[in-house]
Amino acid sequence: MRIIPAIDIIEGKCVRLTKGDYGTKKIYSESPLEIAKTFEGSGIEYLHLVDLDGAKAQHIVNYKVLEQISSKTNLKIDFGGGLKTNEDLHIAFNSGAKQITGGSIAVKDPHTFEGWLSKYGAAKIILGADSDAGKVSIGGWMEQSKEDVIPFIKAYQKKSIQYVICTDISKDGMLEGPSVELYKQIISECTNSSNGQSIKLIASGGISTIEELPILKEIGCEGVIIGKAIYENRITLKQLEKFV
């Protein structure tokens, strides 16, 4: 299971929110690059970089931070937040993203999202299926769609999606543990009966202790995104280094 620390960006700074509420913003560092270098120094290979300004503005904003981290570290970055157009995607990949995450666009403009899938391939496009009481949340989590999470994922699985990030918004930033039951359900229901292939599910939200990681690995998560637990020192980089 891949360990993927998160860096969320507002105005070029590394921040964390609680349940996606911009009013709960806490700044952890003025330099996302320094944080990224610290992760890399602990043997971590992956990074989940979220452009929160972009999510609000509905277009890419903090691509310079992406450019800086991708050019000055070897981290494999998945980038999300406000990616809505082909131009946004072009900028993200040009700035060094290895993968991008599309959430709102997959709900509101499936034609464009499916175009990205066919142009860049399923290895580069991650489906963001963030859950708010079982419904897919969009627009930087400020809006709840009518889509049920599992049928939404299954529909895109038929269109060749492989990677899915699912954040249980009620858990995000709460440090109360991840949504193990939700992830179990997604993995079991989104396994292709003809070939036994499941989607590559990346768990996100609520991770609070190192002991939770083997549980997520055991149920079949392909990756886990860890944010606040690292910044609040609930999980140390030394512990992650051992796990990796």
Asked if residues 137 and 129 have their Cβ atoms less than 8 Å apart, the reply is no
Residue 137: closest CA among 115, 182, 168, 172 = 168
- Is 8 annotated in the active site? yes
Asked if residues 83 and 102 have their Cβ atoms less than 8 Å apart, the reply is yes
Give whole-number Cα distances, 199 to 21, 46, 116, 132, 195, in Å.
29, 19, 18, 20, 12
Of these residues, 51, 78, 130, 172, which one is catalytic?
A: 130
Concatenated DSSP letters of 120-150: H-TTTEEEE--EETTEEEETTTTEEEEEEHH
Interatomic CA distance for residues 148 and 132, integer angstroms? 10
Give whole-number Cα distances, 225 to 50, 103, 152, 182, 196, in Å.
12, 16, 21, 16, 25
Question: Could you list the active site residues?
Answer: 8, 130
